[in-house]
Amino acid sequence: MGGVLKAGLIGEAPTLDLHSTTAVITQQITWHIYEMLYTYDKNLAPIPMLAEGHVIGDNGRRYTITLRKGVRFHNGKEMTSADVVPSLQHWAKLSTTGKAVWKSVEALEAKDPYTVVIYLKEPSGSLLYALGSPNNGGAIYPKEVVAAAGDAPVKEYIGTGPYRFVEHKPDRHVKIARFKEYSARSEAPNGYRPMATAASARRTSTRSISFRCPRPPCGLPAPRPANTTSPSSSGRTSSIASRLSPPSRRKPPSPMAGSPPCPTTRKG
């Protein structure tokens, strides 16, 4: 079931590494691909996502976080603390949020494959909020992806989310496809936390999403959109026409910086 959803965005994402940018356009694309240890509920309070839960000790200076078992990355590998620790270290180096939070972190430890311990210099009420931030938050990547990136943004876009990265054609589109082995939580959807079960996610999700950049090549004015058809609930076909002002009233956008010059057409 499902189909292809095409969504137009305002421009080109500067990167698809959530750790290295606060650009909302990156967030809008990658929150389908990546997940964090925590996310926000409908009241914007932190709740577990990839984490099973946590225990606070040492007067608020130690967070022992238990990870969910059986969560798969898009490359088929199970997520463990060996992935979480380097991901958070990468986040702490590149992310604006991570840098601020990490000033209070004393140490980070992978206690066992499904347990991560964060030792703080002083108690913090913002740690879980920072880890779960949908913008510039602590997305968890496979350890080999982080190792290949070093202190730079990651170049492979692999997460644990309900959609996996397929391709990126700059100034054209980013395509993602439904991840059939998505490990959903058992609870009902709440805020930023998605479907209750993997089965329900597969039934209701589209097969793929294509985020399209609206910029025309060579700085030419964008063509008027064609009618978009979709089957209605009654089985008939409905048509949605997007109306724009006449081309004569629109000022053509200037060419993008760094874009190749437009070809010149000669008559005769």
Task: Give the structural domain span for 9.
Answer: 4-212
206 lies in some domain: yes
259 lies in some domain: no
pTM of this prediction?
Answer: 0.73
249 lies in some domain: no
268 lies in some domain: no
- Degrees to nearest 5, angle at CA 26 with 21 and 28: 140
Q: State the distance between the two ends of the chain, measured CA to CA, in whole angstroms.
A: 53
* pLDDT value of position 10: 81
| Domain of residue 177, CATH code | 3.40.190.10
Q: Is the dihedral of CA 155, 158, 159, 163 positive or negative?
A: positive
Residue 133: name the closest of 57, 244, 206, 38 by CA.
38
How many angstroms separate the CA atoms of 172 and 174, rounded?
Answer: 7
What's the average pLDDT block by block, 10 residues per block, for the chain (268 residues)? 78 93 92 95 95 97 98 97 98 96 96 98 94 94 98 96 93 91 89 62 50 46 43 37 38 44 40
Q: How far is CA 193 from the centre of its chain?
A: 13
Phi then psi for 222, rounded to 5 degrees? -70, 140
The count of residues in the chain is 268
217 lies in some domain: no
